[in-house]
Amino acid sequence: MAEAEVEAGAGRRDVADPGAWREDAFAGRSRLLEGVRAYGLIVAMWMRSTMAYRASFVMTTVGNFVATAFDFVTIMLMFTHVDALGGYTLPEIALLYGASATAFGLSDLLLGSVERLGRRVRDGTLDTLLVRPVPVLAQVAADRFALRRLGRITQGLLVLGYALVTLDIAWTPLKVVMLPLMVLSGAAVFGAVFVAGAAFQFFAQDASEVQNAFTYGGTTVLQYPPSIFAKELVRGVTFVVPLAFVSWLPALYVLGRDYPLGLPGWVAFLPPVVAALCWALASLAWRTGLRAYRSTGS
């Protein structure tokens, strides 16, 4: 009896419901992979649309590059008057700057769009993302994917390249591994801060300025050696917002310098751990924020 019912039901669905494919479209997929896939789809769409206006893309990217390049030009000008800043030479600072700028550029390119979340909450367009079958974070992060931000990454990589060519580093395999490790972990830490900042905007919709203080402000601090800043600030940066892992500690390791605050040598290898920890906190914050939004609607 029950079997017959099931069969009849299945048969009817094939005939009457042209949308029967839906079950297969959803069945047992991991949310993380779905999120990455959706992110890729949306990014691809924005890139296609950017490339439709190639000249405009080239010009905005060059503009982005030039605007960020002035940053480092300022530092170079400073070095026409002094030989060292806080005991660091220009190429050494270039290493700090290049690693940090590249890391920040990467996370800004991949996740920078999440800072528009506050506006979406205010004007109610977040609701339209919640009715789609993919994670909201992926949709927010991929929205208006701005390929022009490659300009900042290019600038960071150039400065980093300059540092590596001019510096006289006693390379070891570990130091070689350290370079990509610090850039990628740094990008991950910045990304986590972007996401946590966006999560905060669920509660206070004007919080993007606070977050900018951490991301844009953070990258500025990290472009200078730790010894020119007050000790308390250094401690805060290291422990409260672990952005120091973005470039200082690994860079000091590569340069063979002493660490600030008498930290032990192995801390230079912590960046991936710190990045993972930051992401755990950021995703917790994101879930909390989204849950709060779904219970208050504002």
Query: What tokens appear for 114 in the block?
Result: 């999440």
- Cβ-contact 257, 282 below 8 angstroms: no
Sign of CA dihedral 28, 29, 31, 32: positive
Please say which residue, 74 or 296, places its beta carbon nearer to another protein: 296
Please say which residue, 144 or 235, places its beta carbon nearer to another protein: 144
User: Any idea what DSSP says for residue 85?
Assistant: B
Give the span between the Cα atoms of 89 and 86, in whole angstroms: 9
Nearest distance in Å: CB 2, another protein: 15
Nearest distance in Å: CB 26, another protein: 5
Query: What tokens appear for 180 in the block?
Result: 């990509």
Nearest distance in Å: CB 151, another protein: 20
Please say which residue, 125 or 212, places its beta carbon nearer to another protein: 125
Nearest distance in Å: CB 24, another protein: 8
Binding residues for another protein, rule: CB under 8 A, are 17-19, 21-22, 24-26, 31, 34, 38, 41-42, 45, 48-49, 123-125, 127-128, 130-135, 144, 291, 294-297
Give the span between the Cα atoms of 214 and 207, in whole angstroms: 11
Q: Beta partners for 88? A: 85
Q: Which residues fall within 8 angstroms of residue 176, CB to CB, at 6 or more apart?
A: none
Please say which residue, 182 or 207, places its beta carbon nearer to another protein: 207
Nearest distance in Å: CB 244, another protein: 36
Please say which residue, 132 or 235, places its beta carbon nearer to another protein: 132
- Cβ-contact 218, 190 below 8 angstroms: yes
Count CA within 13 A, CB hemisphere, residue 202.
21
